[in-house]
């Protein structure tokens, strides 16, 4: 009986070790693929992108999508002039 318990304990220790090794490997893989923190930072940057107002139609849009003009940003939307 004692022998069976011993082997059950050995089995669970091996299982635990395999799981820990798997977690470590997954973590290492994640770090190798650019790093999770970096991805989160760039996503935050995207969310925090400033919005600008189109001088023609008054639509707010991300600054990267706006077209800067001499008197301000424009949305570049073909419907922009109609919205004015
Ligand atoms: Zn516009």
pLDDT digits (tens, 9 = 90+) for 15-49: 998 899 888 888 888 888 765 555 666 666 556 78
19 CA to middle of ligand 1, Å?
Answer: 55
CA proximity to 51, closest of 59, 41, 40: 59
Exposure string over 36-68, b if 16+ CB within 10 A, otherwise e = eeeeeeeeeeeeeeeebebbbbebebeeeebee
38 CA to middle of ligand 1, Å?
Answer: 34
| 78 band by pLDDT with thresholds 50, 70 and 90 | confident
For 48-70, the pLDDT digits (tens) are 789 999 998 999 999 999 999 89
Helices (H), the chain: 2-32, 36-47, 80-83
Residue 82 has pLDDT above 90, yes or no: no
58 CA to middle of ligand 1, Å?
Answer: 6
26 CA to middle of ligand 1, Å?
Answer: 47
């Amino acid at each position: 009986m004692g022998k069976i318990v011993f082997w059950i304990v050995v089995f669970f220790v091996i299982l635990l070790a395999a799981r820990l090794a798997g977690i470590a490997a997954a973590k290492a893989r994640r770090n190798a693929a650019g790093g999770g923190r970096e991805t989160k930072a760039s996503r935050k940057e995207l969310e925090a992108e400033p919005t600008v107002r189109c001088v023609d139609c008054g639509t707010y849009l991300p600054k990267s999508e706006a077209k800067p003009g001499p008197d301000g940003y424009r949305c570049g939307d073909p419907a922009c002039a109609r919205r004015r």
